[in-house]
Structure 1
Amino acid sequence: MPDNMSKHAKRQSARKTEIVKAATEIFFREGYGRASMDQVHSVVGGSKRTLYKHFSSKDELFIAIIERVSDRVLQVMVPEEIEGELENVLLTIGESYLKVILSKDGLSLFRAMISEATHFPTLAKQFYEHGPGKVSSELAKFFRTKQKQGEMNGGDARAAAEQFLGMLRGDVHLTALLYGQKPRGASIVNHVECVVTSFLKSYGGNDKK
């Protein structure tokens, strides 16, 4: 019986993932306002009852899309699993973060929210809480640990996290959003190195001053 339940759970999880992937294409292509649950159903097939069992509304489905992208960021931003000194950890985080937000899905999500935010302010708030805000919170936790260990100056860890991520995005993210110009390879590495150097001048421990 447990094995059957496990297989059932796996099928349900796979179905949910399939729905989110299909919805991602539709929402990014049509925009939140024009996209509909009927469009998603026409792509994934099956019964509408199953679709609404997984996601009771369009809002809930869009939040799942947001979390799918933000989870990709969080998966590559696990400082505790990155070996080395703080500088090396930040370099790794920076490069991984940029690769995700400059990806096709990352850029499409930001573009969708920019175009829909004024029409759906509640959705915009949910986007921040489940996306950028969540990433900042997780990074702030890591910074607090480093502050306790003396590797970073004291102060507002959340503000430090927001500043670090904001410096990483900078014009690199803006130009990619506006007209698709994305840095590659060495350009990303150089950008991240400059950001980390500047960040540690302000927030590094006593040995970094």
Structure 2
Amino acid sequence: MKPTIQEQTRSQQSDKRKQILSIATKIFFREGYGRASMDKVHSELGGSKRTLYNYFPSKEALFEAIVTQVSDQVLTALRPPLGDADLRTTLVKMGNDYLGVLLSPVGISLYRAMVSEAPHFPELAHTFFENGPSRSSHHLAAFFRDQNAQGLIEVSDPQIAAEHFLGAVRGDIHLAAVLTAKRPSKQMVEAAVAQTVRTFLDGVNPKL
């Protein structure tokens, strides 16, 4: 069935938005937020400057979209796997997927950019925190509340538990990658996540 004109238009708009985000991501991470500009994005994008501003009215809006895009990848990684996997298997998969996003080139670049720019752009840092780390911990906390309701775990504060779990998963592996630019092997990541899950589950007393 041939797509309608409206469907074709929506598809074209989606493709253009992705193109803008792809170009802007490279510029923001290469130049830093302070030095990046809408003019630089337009220079690499080409076409009408009005088109760029129709999609993103400001540099702040464009960067927020980049942060949200990476955050959405993290939230996808934290979704419980389908099927009847037990809690331990679920947390191992979550941990590996979550760390995989953080250790990706975009994840590392975004973290470095925010640490560098936060003192100069506090509102931007707040936006990053709310759309990134905060969204992730709240999303995982909702999963822990559901596990609590089913009687599978006993945790008095799901939000704090989520923050502790994600912090333990990041551990020194993420910090080392940020500082040294050396990405750990898959085996190192899997071993670290497995140990984190073992330690975490001992603390929440799983009823398995």
User: Which TM-score band applies after superposition, normalised by the shorter structure?
Assistant: over 0.9
Instruction: Identify the residue that residue 53 of structure 1 maps to in structure 2.
Output: 54
In the alignment of these two chains, the number of paired residues is 206
Give the alignment of 1:189-204 within 5 angstroms: 189-204=190-205
Instruction: Identify the residue that residue 85 of structure 1 maps to in structure 2.
Output: 86
The more displaced of 38-47 and 69-78 is 69-78
1:203: how far off? 1.4
Instruction: Identify the residue that residue 140 of structure 1 maps to in structure 2.
Output: 141
- The answer to whether the 8 Å contact 1:102/1:176 transfers is yes
1:204: how far off? 3.3
1:82: how far off? 5.5
Identity %: 47
Counterpart residue type for residue 186 of structure 1: Q
| TM-score, with structure 1 as normaliser | 0.95
Counterpart residue type for residue 79 of structure 1: P
Instruction: Identify the residue that residue 103 of structure 1 maps to in structure 2.
Output: 104
1:77: how far off? 1.9
Structure 2 vs 1, CA of residues 83 and 182 (structure 1 numbering), >3 Å: closer, same or farther?
farther
- The answer to whether the 8 Å contact 2:155/2:161 transfers is no
Provide Cα deviations, 1:46-96, integer angstroms capped at 9, x if missing partner. 111110110010000001111111111112221152541000000000011
The more displaced of 115-124 and 197-206 is 197-206
Counterpart residue type for residue 12 of structure 1: Q
Instruction: Identify the residue that residue 30 of structure 2 maps to in structure 1.
Output: 29
Q: Hey, what's the Cα distance between the residues in 1 that align with 2:203 and 2:156?
A: 11
Unpaired segments ≥5 residues, structure 2:
none
Q: Hey, what's the Cα distance between the residues in 2 that align with 1:108 and 1:132?
A: 15
Q: Hey, what's the Cα distance between the residues in 2 that align with 1:139 and 1:184?
A: 25
1:129: how far off? 0.6
Q: Hey, what's the Cα distance between the residues in 2 that align with 1:28 and 1:82?
A: 38
Instruction: Identify the residue that residue 65 of structure 1 maps to in structure 2.
Output: 66
Task: Return structure 1 stretches of 4+ with deviation > 6 angstroms.
Answer: none
1:150: how far off? 1.1
Counterpart residue type for residue 161 of structure 2: A
| TM-score, with structure 2 as normaliser | 0.96
Give the alignment of 1:170-181 within 5 angstroms: 170-181=171-182
- The answer to whether the 8 Å contact 1:83/1:89 transfers is no
Q: Hey, what's the Cα distance between the residues in 2 that align with 1:45 and 1:117?
A: 30
- The answer to whether the 8 Å contact 1:140/1:160 transfers is yes
The more displaced of 101-110 and 45-54 is 45-54
The more displaced of 127-136 and 23-32 is 127-136
Q: Hey, what's the Cα distance between the residues in 2 that align with 1:142 and 1:87?
A: 13
Instruction: Identify the residue that residue 153 of structure 1 maps to in structure 2.
Output: 154
- The answer to whether the 8 Å contact 1:111/1:177 transfers is yes
Counterpart secondary structure, 1:146: helix
Q: Hey, what's the Cα distance between the residues in 2 that align with 1:35 and 1:190?
A: 39
Instruction: Identify the residue that residue 115 of structure 1 maps to in structure 2.
Output: 116
- The answer to whether the 8 Å contact 1:153/1:204 transfers is yes
Q: Hey, what's the Cα distance between the residues in 1 that align with 2:195 and 2:55?
A: 44
